[in-house]
Amino acid sequence: MGAMPMRDIVLIIFIGLIIAMGFKRPFLWVLLYIYVDIVSPGEVGWGFIRSLHLSVVAFIAAFAGYALLDTKEGSRFTFRQGLIVALLAWCGYTTLGAAFQDTAWAKWDWVWKSLIFAAFLPLTLRTRLRIEAAVLVYILSIAAIAISGGVKTVAGGGGYGLLVLLVQNDSGIYEGSIFSTAAIASIPLILFLARHGTIFKPDWRVWTFAAALIFSCLLIPIGTQARTGLVCIGVLGVLMMRAVKHRFLFAGLASVALVASIPFLPQAFTDRMATITGFQSDESASTRLQVWKWTYHYALANPTGGGFDAYRSNSFTYEVPKIEGEGNNQQITYETVTDESRAYHSSYFEMLGEQGWLGLFMWLLLQGLGVWHMERIRWREGPKRADRDVWMFDLATALQHAQIIFLVGALFVGIAFQSFALILIGFQCALWSFWRIRRKGFQRSAVAEKLAAERGEGSPFPT
């Protein structure tokens, strides 16, 4: 038996320390699960750590710590959390009748954990410090992948399907288009922590790291050559216009930076991005349109959906125009293409094909309420309010912008159940409860009132 790799040793010691400290502060186990769920350290290691089932261990620890060791005062179950549970139940129902049982249950194995944790997470985020700590761990987990990908991109190791993001894996969050969406969606939260962080208070070191991390996130779409990432950067730019004070100056500087960066971009990247406008002659884009058309008709015939991975039953034939020659000598010919078992390449059609019309409605309602709730907080805590809370305003703005970027990226990638997006929903639910408690009041139980009086406490919800 060979010696354990040093990377495995470091990861095991780190995770072991967090588990040990969790007996004193059980909330640390919640943070541990966020890290494990996003980074997947079991795949980062090379040896023994792969057999430890860290995700299961962290998942059980997070729930057990809350149930057995943590205080429940201030925990509230919101409508959106109930909607997540309802969506989970519906997914279970459609999985029982899924068209492809083997692969459907394989996807169910990770989907149910992501949904349950998203519904559970807000119960533990009862204070400002806890919310900030969870957002910080989330961003640092994204950073572990983004920094690796950014460095490799600068070193010339990018390419469509070629950039290795921390581990040799091209699925889940490590798939190029998926992580491009996650990385760009994280930028608003990076800026929030740089402005309002109390764990790492804002200074030149924090801002330097934040700037470097944002640059790494912006490099990910270049390194992966993911067109979805470029679209997400465009959406981020538009949303930033909404948040900055000097909009025309920001727009001008952003335009100059864009033009100045073009000569430094890899030719392969610019060629691939050019296919966004020429989607009719791009086989990949044409295939997506055909898959979406097939999914719509499939849902009409199967209103409750076909369960996870129902796309495996698709088959279609279509013609793709091919342009040959240049200038006035261009000739257009049509090539017949037959495809089958092609993935949805869209979260919206993923939900429609797998969970039917009801599943799509619940998912859209879950997302729409998030945008609306964050906007309500922004309105109440806006600049015109004398008693505004800037921290809540900026966090609501960051979470709303992150979600909008996700929703745009989700148009082109099947990420409806990806944990990074569901954790964002968990943050929104936590902030919504936190805000309502402070702005609309919260009636404590008689027992809680008595205990607070005995301790001389004015509020069970410290900042």
Q: pLDDT of 324-369, one tens digit each?
A: 666 566 666 767 777 788 888 899 999 999 999 999 999 999 999 9
Q: Please give the pLDDT value at position 1.
A: 44
The confidence band for 43, taking pLDDT boundaries of 50, 70 and 90, is: confident
The confidence band for 51, taking pLDDT boundaries of 50, 70 and 90, is: low
Say if residue 403's pLDDT is above 50.
yes
> Do 32 and 18 form a contact (C-beta atoms < 8 A)?
yes
Q: Please give the pLDDT value at position 461.
A: 41
Q: Please give the pLDDT value at position 173.
A: 86
Q: Please give the pLDDT value at position 104.
A: 93
The confidence band for 175, taking pLDDT boundaries of 50, 70 and 90, is: confident
Q: Please give the pLDDT value at position 195.
A: 94
Maximum average pLDDT range among 39-48, 223-232, 367-376: 367-376
Say if residue 121's pLDDT is above 90.
yes
Q: How many residues does the chain have?
A: 463
> Do 176 and 225 form a contact (C-beta atoms < 8 A)?
yes
Say if residue 287's pLDDT is above 60.
yes
Say if residue 108's pLDDT is above 90.
yes
Q: Please give the pLDDT value at position 154.
A: 78
Q: Which two tokens stand for residue 116?
A: 């349950």
Q: Please give the pLDDT value at position 442.
A: 46
> Do 179 and 145 form a contact (C-beta atoms < 8 A)?
yes
* Residue 252, C-beta contacts closer than 8 angstroms, at least 6 positions apart: none
Tally DSSP H helices, then E strands, for the chain: 17, 2
Average pLDDT, integer, range 71-79: 85
Cα–Cα distance list, 326 to 29, 68, 217, 278, 319 (Å): 61, 71, 36, 15, 21
Maximum average pLDDT range among 112-126, 138-152, 433-447: 112-126
Q: What span, in angstroms and rounded, lies between the C-alpha atoms of 398 and 194?
A: 12
Which one has a higher pLDDT value, 13 or 118?
Answer: 118
Which backbone phi and psi does 334 adopt, to 5 degrees? -115, 130
Which one has a higher pLDDT value, 350 or 165?
Answer: 350
The mean predicted confidence, pLDDT, of the chain is: 83
Q: Please give the pLDDT value at position 242.
A: 80
Say if residue 298's pLDDT is above 90.
yes
Say if residue 283's pLDDT is above 70.
no
Q: Please give the pLDDT value at position 250.
A: 62
